[in-house]
């Protein structure tokens, strides 16, 4: 059974179980990087409804779980998250009431050409800066509403004004976080109950000043790659690590900063290092990063002497 057939089957069964007081609908939603996901929405007594993605439920069904159990799990998820009354969305209609919540994030331009036609954006090398409204609600916690072209028309605003708001708001609402990889590893190991204390390596033997890698994100760890756009961030990173540095696009949520300790930009050692890092980026994107979270296959570099941040061009065979 294909997932599209599974989604139809889910819709029919949910409507039958819940009855006519509920409106059940399914859709194939286009996410970032062209990823498409099937989802179900269930409406009752509210102007909004939670979106429940079906991929995990489909896998459980394919793996042998009873269909009735799957349906009951979807209903339980819906009832845990469904609002009991209408949500006031009037603030979203007025630019003055939401402009202090406008933030930016990064996405890959080539992978998102279709959606970029429908939303305001600003080019940034092979990437695009896009905008969203950071919202908080007692029922749903924090979330984001992607700003589309029709929102700009409603608010009578411009891309430059969105960018100005986002430059001011994002660093305030989503604090930058630059973490030494040694400290990151210590934190991960300390929280892993499956690892015995005697099996944890002694990372204290590694000098923090000799750290080979840093993780750049925000406090939430979500859409943290956009922190590279914060004012003066390049020089702030340089002040911490004390060297020119490479930037690896780990995902839309974080970047990896690698100090350039050996090569002089443009020499054979530097070019070889670039080749190694680029190969690593390709491998990690292919094997580790979810398709919807991939940011770029390219490598970037910051030269503090020239104060230049650039995309490192890939060497072509002679």
Q: Tell me the pLDDT tens digit for each residue of 60-69.
A: 999 999 999 9
Q: Tell me the pLDDT tens digit for each residue of 104-138.
A: 999 999 999 999 999 999 999 999 999 999 887 55
Instruction: Check residue 265 and give its pLDDT.
Output: 76
Instruction: Check residue 193 and give its pLDDT.
Output: 57
Q: Tell me the pLDDT tens digit for each residue of 136-147.
A: 755 545 578 899
Q: Identify the residue whose tokens are 């007081």.
A: 21
Confidence of residue 206 (pLDDT cuts 50, 70, 90): very low
181 has a pLDDT exceeding 80: no
48 has a pLDDT exceeding 80: no
Tokens of 268: 């054979």
What is the mean pLDDT of the segment spanning 166-193? Answer: 77
Q: What is the pTM of this model?
A: 0.81
Average pLDDT, the chain: 85
Instruction: Check residue 262 and give its pLDDT.
Output: 73
The percent of residues in the chain predicted with pLDDT above 90, rounded, is 62
Confidence of residue 72 (pLDDT cuts 50, 70, 90): very high
Per the model's pLDDT, the better-predicted residue between 197 and 303 turns out to be 303
Candidates 80, 130, 78, 125; CA nearest to 300 is 125
Q: Among 3-12, 66-75, 115-124, 184-193, which stretch is predicted with the lowest mean pLDDT?
A: 184-193
What is the mean pLDDT of the segment spanning 188-201? Answer: 51
């Amino acid at each position: 059974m294909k997932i599209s057939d599974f989604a139809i089957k889910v819709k029919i069964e949910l409507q039958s179980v819940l009855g006519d007081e509920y409106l059940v609908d399914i859709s194939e939603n286009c996410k970032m990087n062209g990823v498409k996901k099937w989802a179900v929405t269930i409406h009752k007594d509210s102007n909004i409804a939670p979106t429940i993605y079906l991929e995990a439920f489909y896998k459980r069904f394919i793996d042998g779980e009873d269909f009735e159990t799957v349906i009951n799990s979807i209903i339980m998820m819906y009832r845990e998250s469904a609002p009991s009354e209408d949500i006031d969305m009037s603030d979203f209609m007025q630019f003055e009431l939401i402009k202090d919540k406008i933030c930016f994030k990064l996405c890959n331009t080539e992978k998102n050409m279709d959606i970029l036609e429908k939303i305001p954006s600003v080019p940034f090398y092979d990437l695009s800066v896009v905008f969203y409204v950071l919202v908080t609600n007692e029922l749903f916690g924090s979330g984001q509403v992607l700003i589309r072209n029709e929102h700009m028309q409603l608010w009578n605003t411009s891309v430059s004004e969105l960018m100005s708001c986002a430059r001011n708001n994002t660093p305030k609402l989503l604090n930058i976080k630059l973490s030494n990889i040694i400290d990151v590893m210590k934190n991960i190991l300390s929280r892993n109950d499956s690892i015995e204390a005697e099996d944890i390596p002694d990372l204290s033997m590694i000098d923090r000043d000799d750290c080979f890698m840093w993780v750049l994100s925000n406090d939430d760890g979500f859409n943290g790659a956009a922190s590279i756009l914060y004012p003066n961030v390049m020089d702030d990173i340089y002040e911490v690590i004390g060297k020119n540095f490479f930037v690896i696009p780990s995902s839309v949520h974080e970047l990896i900063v690698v100090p350039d300790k050996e090569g002089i930009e443009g020499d054979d050692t530097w070019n070889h290092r670039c080749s190694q890092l680029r190969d690593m980026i390709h491998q990690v994107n292919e094997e580790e990063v979810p398709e919807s979270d991939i940011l770029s296959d390219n490598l970037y570099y910051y030269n503090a002497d020239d104060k230049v941040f650039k995309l490192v061009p890939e060497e072509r065979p002679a």
